[in-house]
Amino acid sequence: MNRPARLVPAALTASAALLSTACGSGGGDGASSDRIAGADTAETPSASPSGSATADGIDRPEIKLPSDMKLVFEGRRTGDAAKDAILADNEQTVSTVWQAMAHGDVKRSGMAFYYTDDALAGVYQYAKGAIAKRTSWAGTLRYYDRQVTVFDKKSAALTYCVDESGADLKDRETNKLQGTKTTSDSYVHYNLGLKKNADGVWQTWDLTEDRGSQKCQP
């Protein structure tokens, strides 16, 4: 089975800082948990144009991924309204990074709507690098073992695993797949810091990843 070389998400998930080796974003080495590269930069994108208002009344950016880029999110319903809202926002969060890569457009990706602070700076620099190298991916990413901890009405944490074994790097212009083997590094554990903004959106402000984590191995 092929997989993207060192897909990180994100977001991360997230998945979040993604395809780190191919795009030079400097993710973890599989043995330790590292903050996403570029998190200390002051350059960040502006929020993307809004889409239509959703059921919660929030005017969110429109997200459209290509047909060969599929995301599978497990455990969408916990029975707790606050946790379910966090999980739903996280699905949109990681999708914005993939949208930037798929379409080669950072400014209209929606990342600035769902990421903030260091996490936004990191995914922005990652996406710019991927776009410059014409790098995207095709296949399926599976997000599983998603665990939410709510601290109060405006702060929370989220951990989850990503299975990258069903996806592969792709040249965005030629659509040619790279083809890489599945290893223990195909499974990544993420730890996110979240805060709820004035609009009611759960934004990711901090993000670490542990590639090859024993917590996520099949």
Cα-based distances in Å from 88 to 44, 45, 105, 155, 167 = 24, 23, 23, 15, 22
Q: Which of 20-34, 115-129, 174-188 has the lowest mean pLDDT?
A: 20-34
15 domain residue, yes or no: yes
pLDDT of res. 54: 60
47 domain residue, yes or no: no
Beta bridge partners of 33: 210
pLDDT tens per residue across span 150-193: 999 999 999 999 999 999 999 999 999 988 778 999 999 999 99
Separation CA 182–CA 175 (nearest Å): 20
Element (H, E) at 89: helix 81-103
Task: Give the domain range for residue 107.
Answer: 10-23+68-216
Is the confidence at residue 27, as pLDDT, over 60?
no
> What are φ and ψ of residue 121, in 5° steps?
-60, -40
CATH, residue 150: 3.10.450.50
154 domain residue, yes or no: yes
Q: Which of 77-91, 96-110, 169-183 has the lowest mean pLDDT?
A: 169-183
Is the confidence at residue 2, as pLDDT, over 50?
no
The pTM of this model reads: 0.78
54 domain residue, yes or no: no
pLDDT of res. 206: 96
Q: How confident is the model at residue 147 (pLDDT cuts 50, 70, 90)?
A: very high
Nearest residue to 25 via CA among 97, 123, 108, 117? 123
Is the confidence at residue 140, as pLDDT, over 50?
yes
Is the confidence at residue 45, as pLDDT, over 80?
no
pLDDT of res. 178: 87
136 domain residue, yes or no: yes
For a pLDDT cut of 70, what percent of the chain falls above it?
A: 75
59 domain residue, yes or no: no
Count of structural domains, the chain: 1
Of residues 209 and 49, more confidence is placed in 209
The answer to whether 17 and 11 have CB atoms below 8 angstroms apart is yes
Is the confidence at residue 208, as pLDDT, over 50?
yes
52 domain residue, yes or no: no
122 domain residue, yes or no: yes
